[in-house]
Structure 1
Amino acid sequence: MRSMVGLTLLLLAFGAVAEEEESTPCDNVETDQQTYECAKYSRQTAERELDAAFNDQLERIKEQYNGQTAQIDDLSRRLRDAQALWKQLRDADCKVETFAEKPGSKAFETAQNTCLAQRSDDRSEYLQSLGLQ
């Protein structure tokens, strides 16, 4: 019985370590296909984090201006407008960065996904740093 408990604890500890070290398509990238998959994964991850940072900022506005509907609405609108303009700039910048690649090619998609991921990561950091007053 004692060895069974020890084995169970060992398996639980191993499982916890395995969860912490979740593998991604960006682990051990060596081929062009792996680079493509990593760029696609990075973009998807960055865009999810960007959406979360944006929604978190909207929630912080509601908390900061609790009960002040006019201020909440005005600042939320400004943030949404800024986000829409930022997306236009991000997309335009990425069109410049991917100009040399043939649209539709894996090289183009890899470059585009990498650019969008980098810009989205930067924007997430910016949104998280806002201390609206």
Structure 2
Amino acid sequence: MQNNLIFLPVLVNIAIVFVLYIRLAKTKAKAIQQGQVDQARRALHDDAWPDNVRQINNCIRNQFELPVLFYVLTFILWAMEFTNLYVQLIAWAFVFSRIAHAVIHTGSNYVPHRKKVFTFGCILLILLTSFIAASILFQAF
């Protein structure tokens, strides 16, 4: 399997962020147009915006938490040339979990569902971390 294919799920995960930013811009524009924004406070205070804007904004913030570990792990796996089919499948599963998380977060925002999807993604990253650690340890002996 080609080592560089590990970056396809990374690119899709980055695309999630761009899609969210586009949606945020449209939602903010609509909120401003409808007079739902406290113009004097909007630059520094999240509470100047309506809930639907804050919901998308919070989802974007989430994209710079757990996914950052995914990016680091991906580069480590690539550098180690340890990007077999199992690793690729786990990487894609993580990205699909992030898509599901974003859909839930910007939709129903039902926390128990978000938590399940988040936990699944976290477990996948723990698995990737374990693969890296095992590979390093076995090479050391």
TM-score (norm 2): 0.39
TM-score (norm 1): 0.41
